[in-house]
Every structure is written in structure tokens, then in C-alpha cells.
Amino acid sequence: MDKIKINDEFFDIMPPEYQELVEEATYGKEDRGWKDVGVAKELIEEHSLCAGCPESIAFRYVLACLPNPQDTVMVGSTGCTSLVFPHVAIHNIHSLFGNQNAVASGLKRTLALRFPDKVKDVVVLAGDGATVDIGLDMTLQSWFRQEKFTTICFDNELYANTGGQESGLMQKGFVGKMAPAGKKFDKVPLPEIARDSGCHYVAMMTVSKPNRVEKAIRNAILVAREIGPTYIQLYTPCILEIGKQMMEGLQEMRDSEGPGKRFEFKEYISDEAKVFLDEVDAERKAKKKALRAARA
């Protein structure tokens, strides 16, 4: 890794935070993951979200679990995520509201064209309003076209950033702004739509279990890189808009992920992706075994 270097002669006068970033960054570390949250400089240290917002921890998990952060470009959309991206040491594009999968399509193809011999990952991160309502056409069409990037939806079941208006992923019956008599139709089954629209890896869950989130994100990005589009839907409740306290976000997620609940864990893997992921797992296990043998 020679991505970030400081000229030796200037090292001691650089801000300590920058020195730390250069020396301690997890860039290039194969086993980087959610456990680096809180110690690695390149992950979010501060954020401008509400205290206790589950999205802030989801955001950190996503960043910590990128397999290739030094060559990953993220595409966001208007919403609370766009308030955090400025704190992130990864190139990110926030262009308009709802067009994130279209922007990512152009970006991914250009990066493939310009860097044919290099892995460049593109990851879309947007809320449910951007993904499932205003941007649904572009979300779906990027999957139909088999664009090779991962779409992550932070599902908080409403338009959080604009103050809690009805979204397509809101639960039926929920009384929200613009749904004054309760939402009239069911939560849009986007994981199933994603599977049927050509996504090769789909997962839906809350972010209460970091190991599971880590595995899903890695799987999704690796499958997108090699095979085709992937989709992850994470419940990141907007505690402000559903009337919870700052310490209640985790419990809200746990209460919503049991059997038969809205965020019961779901995972769909295409046959092609399954073969690929089995190979990746076998390779990883062999590496670990070799490492253990070398230590012994």
C-alpha cells in the first residue's frame, strides 16, 4: 500500500491526526471489519447525525467492512447520509435526490474503462425514499442492466431528513406526515423485487448484529465486483421520527428482527453467486489454515 504517504521531512510537522491516519489506516488490510470501528482513523470519528441514530453505526459498519476502501467510490443521495459523507475519507458523490443508481452506473462503467487492470468498487448508499420512491426506476433499471455495483438502502421506513413523511417502505397503517390517516399499502417488498430483477446477492436485516452485517456487506461487494448487481437493506430506524429516545435504537432493531417481524433476516443468493462465494470462503479458510500452520 503506497496510497497515502507523507514526505519524511515534513512528517513531524503534519497534524497528529493526519500522521495517525497514515500510520494506522486499515487500507490494504485484508481482515478489516467492524471491529476496527472506534480505533481506525479513516472511519467516521464524528458525525452530524442525531445522538443515538442507528444510521451512524450502520454507516461505520459499512465503511469498516469495505473490502477495498482504497479503491472504492461511494455514491449517496440527499438525506441524512449526505450529512455524514463529508466526514468520510473516501471519494463520494452526492449529486441529486434519487439518481444514485444512475450516477453509479455511469461511474462504474467509466472506472472499468479507465482502469481495466484494477479493482474499483462502487457502492451506493441511500435511504428508502431515494431508493424505493423517487429513485425506484433508476434502482430497478440498474439491476435489469446488470450493473456491477452494490446498492445499500438505509431503510428507516420514512423520509427522515425532511421530517418523517410517508415512504414506500413505511409499514402499512403507520401514521406519518403525508399519511395522516395511516399508510394505505404494504411495505414494498424490495428484497424480493431485487432478487427477481437480477440481483445476485440480496440481504435484509437490522444492524443489531455486526458480524452478520459485515458478512453481508463483504459478500455483496465481492459478488457485485465479479458477477452483477447486489442489494442490501438495513433497518436503521429514525428514532426521532418514531418517537424513541437516543438509547432505544438498538432495542427497536432487536424488536423488529424476530421471526415473522418486518426485518426478519433474509438472504437470497443466485446459483452463480453461491458458487463464487463458496470459492471465496474456501480460499479464506485455506489462507487462515496456512497462517496457523506457519505460526505453529
Q: For binding to another protein (CB under 8 A), which residues are involved?
A: 3-4, 48, 70-73, 75, 82-83, 85-93, 95-96, 99, 102-111, 113-115, 120, 137-138, 141, 145
Residues written for the chain:
296
| 3-state DSSP assignment of residue 221 | helix
Which H or E element spans position 235?
Answer: strand 230-235
Closest approach, Cβ 95 to another protein, in A, equals: 5
Nearer to another protein (CB atom), residue 139 or residue 167: 139
Nearer to another protein (CB atom), residue 1 or residue 293: 1
Work out the number of other CB atoms within 10 angstroms of the CB of residue 245: 11
Per the CB < 8 A criterion, the answer to whether 249 and 174 are in contact is no
Closest approach, Cβ 282 to another protein, in A, equals: 29
Closest approach, Cβ 142 to another protein, in A, equals: 9
Closest approach, Cβ 228 to another protein, in A, equals: 15
Q: Which three cell numbers stand for residue 44?
A: 467516521
CA distances from 261 to 14, 165, 176, 201, 258 (A): 51, 22, 20, 21, 5
Closest approach, Cβ 171 to another protein, in A, equals: 29
Please report the DSSP string for 188-219 in residue order. Answer: P-HHHHHHHTT-SEEEEEESS-HHHHHHHHHH
Nearer to another protein (CB atom), residue 71 or residue 248: 71
